[in-house]
Structures are given as structure tokens and as C-alpha cells.
Amino acid sequence: MIKLEPRVERSNMWSYLSVVLAIFLTLITGYALFALLGHEPLTALHTLLIAPIADWYGVTELLVMTIPILLCAYGLALCYRAAVWNIGAEGQLLIGGVCASAVAVQFADSASVMAMPLTLLAGITGGMAWAGLAAFMKLRLNTNEILVTIMLNYIAVNILLWAVHGPLKDPDGFNFPESALFGDSTLLPVLFDGTRLHLGLAFALLALCATWAFISKTFVGFQIQVLGLDASAAKMAGYKRSFLIAGVFIISGALAGLAGAGEVAGPIGQLVPQISPGYGYAAIIVAFLGRLHPVGITFAGLLMGLIYMGGELAQITMGLPNAMTGILQGLMLFYLLSCDVLIGYRCKLSLPFKQQKTQQIHAVKES
């Protein structure tokens, strides 16, 4: 019988090496899966990880796809450091996109300099409100934030569908479920001609610096970490638990809402039902893969964006199923969590109770 016993001390070195190990094991498993599907594994891995960024345009597309993942992951990392298990970044992103679109369509024929700032502000506010609802239910109604945020994701999807089929539907769109195209004054500026890389990259870099400084250089950031490590110690120190939990929820919602606004006002240019292929869910894996550190999250986000791009390219060129992207993401999280278990616990073989009792009796008789 195998039992898990807590280790006296966790290895800091293995905490980071386990990320590399999880990625390596995911690649090995992916190699085997490609072979089982009848494809040349090395060709499939090249299509998945190398071909998408073989030129400058591919690199910029990787950044475009990574921006919303990073914005969501930075906010989620703050929540997880406080032991607040926010699973609702996807819903907060979608609500941010809906709110931003509701403002953007009002400026379709306007050249106002306030169009883009108001659109982004609406997206941020929508994400904050959606996350604030989960915070209220946790703090005032004592609900489980995991269940609440997951359910709010499904509600957000239906609000998005209602919006594109109802009040935000383009009357001249031939009955397609989409909003009217946004005006130029609302769209995020493109940074490089011939690409889709937009100003959202600057927002992601700003969020990287801001979250790092907040968590490591401010007293409130220290309080958040103490709350996550030991809630009773935080209470004894007089830290305001409700304030900290509400704060990380609001910040996370704001960043996810900004990601949603950046998608509709950036590469898409309108509200459509498919504004997110699951960025909010991918951000959960990215946050843990990056060890809840903004720099680590940045590299993990680039890897996740590359898997998204490679999965689409492999589907087009090799006929691989679209589910392969989700499988690889799930494998990566599975291996990472498995490594974490072995870092925190050691496996110990123990005999069944009856066998232990028999050995004890024999030992007494022999003595």
C-alpha cells in the first residue's frame, strides 16, 4: 500500500525544474499520441512548435494570441497567491468584450479621441463587475468561489450570445450573429504595418511590471501572500481578509475585462460569439506553469499561445483533430500537478493493517 507523507522541506530547485519536466513529459506523450494517430511525430511537433513562428508575421501573431492569455493570467496569479480560487477569467473576459462592444458601436461613425479610452474603460468595468459579483457572494453569502466563478462563466457565454443575437446585432449584417464593425477611432492602433500586433502588447507589458511590483514591493502585496500561506496568521496580524479577497478579485476581473476589450477592439474589430477560444481557462494553466510569478507567467503564456497556433496549423495542414490543443494543455497541467505532489510529499510503502498486526505479534513472541 502506498502512502503520501509530507516532506519536511520542499525543494526550491525542483519547484522550478518541475516545470521543465512537465513540458518535457508533455512533448514525449504528444510524440506517442501523434504516432498512434498515424502521423510522423517529429513532423507533427515541428508543425506544432516551430512552423508557426518561422517568420516575423508568425512571431507577431504569437504575440497577438498571447496578449489576452497573459492579461488573464497575471490577475489570476494574484488570486491564487491569496488562496482565492478564481476560475472565472473566461467569463470576465467575455463580459468585458460585451461591455466594450456596447460602447464601441456608439462611436461607429465618430472620430472622437475618447472612443478608444471609453471602450477600454467599459471592458475593464465589465470585468470588474463580474468578478465583484463572485467576491460579494463569497464574502457575504459564504459561497464557494470555485463553483460560483465556473457557473458565472456559462452565464457570461449566454449573455454574449444574447447580445450578438439581440441588442448588439448588426442590422445590416445579413442576419449573422455579430455586431457592426467598429469605427477606426475605437480600434487599437497596429504597432507594425502588415501585422495585426496592436497596442494591447503595451498593456500586457504594463500589467507584467505592475503586478510584479505590486506583489513583491508593496505591503498590500505582502499581506496577500501571507493570507494565501496562512489565513490564521493573517488574521492574527490584523490584515483585512475581506478587503484583500475583494481586491484580488477586482484586479483579476479588471485585467480579464481589458483582455476582452482588447480582443474586440483589436484583431477582431467587432463582437462575435467566438471572441475567445478559451483564453481564460488557458490562463489558469499558464499561471501555475509560471509559478505565479509574472516573469514565469510571461514565458508560459508564450508557450500556450504557441500551442494554440500550432494546433490550428496542424489541423489545417495535417488533419489533426482540433481537440489536440486541449489534450496537450491538459497533459501539461496533469504532469505539473503530479510533479508538485512529489515535491511536497514522498511515497512510502506501508503494509496492510492486518499484516502489520501479525508482524508486531511475531516480534513480541520472538522477544
For 215-241, write each residue's pLDDT tens digit: 999 999 999 999 999 999 999 999 999
Indicate the pLDDT class of residue 361, thresholds 50, 70 and 90: low
- pLDDT computed for residue 352 by the predictor: 60
- Full 3-state SS string of 57-108: HHHHHHHHHHHHHHHHHHHHHHHHHCCCCCCCHHHHHHHHHHHHHHHHHHHC
Please give the residue that has the higher pLDDT: either 344 or 42.
Answer: 42
Count Cα atoms within 13 angstroms, Cβ side, for 23: 16
76-93 pLDDT, tens digit per residue, is 999 999 999 999 999 999
Q: What are phi and psi of 346, to 5 degrees?
A: -110, 145
95, 126, 147 from 138: Cα distances, Å: 20, 19, 10
CA distance 71 to 170: 29
User: Which of helix, strand or coil describes residue 179?
Assistant: coil
Kindly tell me if the per-residue pLDDT of 353 is higher than 70.
Answer: no
Say how far residue 353 (Cα) sits from the centre of its chain: 44
Please give the residue that has the higher pLDDT: either 153 or 344.
Answer: 153
Cβ neighbors of 103 (< 8 A, separation 6 or more) are 118, 119, 122
- pLDDT computed for residue 285 by the predictor: 94
CA distance 237 to 195: 51
- pLDDT computed for residue 269 by the predictor: 94
As a whole number, mean pLDDT of residues 110-118 equals 92
Q: What are phi and psi of 349, to 5 degrees?
A: -80, 130
Indicate the pLDDT class of residue 354, thresholds 50, 70 and 90: low
Per-residue DSSP letter, 291: T
Report the interhelical angle of 279-289 vs 56-81 (nearest 10°): 70
Write down the mean pLDDT value for the chain. 92
171, 258 contact by CB (below 8 A): no
CA distance 230 to 237: 11
User: Which of helix, strand or coil describes residue 285?
Assistant: helix
At CB < 8 A and 24+ separation, what contacts does 354-359 make? none
pTM of the entire predicted model:
0.91
Per-residue DSSP letter, 347: E
CA distance 11 to 178: 51
Of the candidates 278, 297, 288, the residue with the CA atom closest to the CA atom of residue 207: 297
Give, for 208, the enclosing helix (H) or strand (E): helix 200-217
Which of 63-72, 155-164, 327-336 shows the lowest per-residue confidence on average (mean pLDDT)?
Answer: 327-336
